[in-house]
């Protein structure tokens, strides 16, 4: 099952027959009553209680992370297949891979999310290789339209949109 992309929810584009529209999940206010006011501002889309948006331009990983933070969020942390599906659809909508909030901080094959939690071997991931790779030359992670995560350089000439998540 596939869900509609954020871009389609915002633009109101037509949905393909095998895509489940997420209109019921889109709302202007936080369903949990926590008042995520930064997330409720224009440009954020609520999908299942989490808010998402793409950065406006193709940028390096660090710039994408900074843009998400300045908007009140962070680059997406994926912990479930459903969150991976949202990111996969955004990659398709962007016609490019999108940055995730996962990085090999110390170039040692150990990956950390933006909140400093380590990606463990038993945690959900979707690396194309099947396992957590250990390539010290490509410390940043992006997701492609097929749903696979892959390693990338964090800097130009590699430029993608970032997928921001809030909270």
We report the CATH number of the domain holding residue 70 as 3.10.100.10
The answer to whether 84 and 128 are in contact (CB under 8 A) is: no
* Structural domain count of the chain: 1
Instruction: Decide the pairing of beta strands 140-143 and 161-166.
Output: unpaired
Cα 74 from chain centroid (whole Å):
9
Confidence label for 24 from pLDDT (cuts 50, 70 and 90): very low
- Residue numbers of the domain that contains 149: 2-166
Three-state DSSP class for residue 25: helix
**How would you classify residue 48: left for phi > 0, otherwise alpha for psi between -120 and 50, otherwise beta?**
left
112-135, pLDDT tens digit by residue? 999 999 998 889 999 988 888 878
Is the whole model's pTM more than 0.85, yes or no? Answer: no
Q: Strands, E, within 14-145: which ranges? A: 19-20, 45-47, 50-54, 74-75, 98-103, 112-113, 140-143
**How confident is the prediction for the chain on average, in pLDDT?**
79
């Amino acid at each position: 099952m596939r869900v509609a992309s954020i871009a389609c929810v915002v633009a109101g584009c037509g949905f393909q027959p095998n895509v489940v529209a997420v209109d019921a999940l889109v709302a202007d206010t936080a369903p949990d009553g926590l008042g995520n006011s930064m997330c409720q501002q224009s440009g954020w889309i609520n999908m299942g209680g989490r808010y998402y948006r793409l950065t406006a331009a193709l940028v390096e990983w660090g710039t994408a992370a900074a843009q998400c933070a300045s908007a009140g969020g962070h680059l997406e942390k994926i912990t479930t297949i459903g969150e991976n599906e949202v990111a996969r659809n955004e990659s398709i909508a962007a016609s490019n891979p999108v940055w995730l909030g996962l990085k090999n901080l110390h170039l040692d094959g150990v990956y950390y999310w933006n909140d400093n939690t380590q990606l463990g071997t038993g945690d959900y991931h979707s690396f194309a290789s099947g396992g957590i790779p250990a390539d010290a030359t490509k410390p940043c992670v992006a997701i492609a339209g097929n749903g696979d995560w892959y390693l990338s350089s964090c800097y130009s000439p590699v430029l993608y949109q970032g997928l921001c998540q809030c909270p």
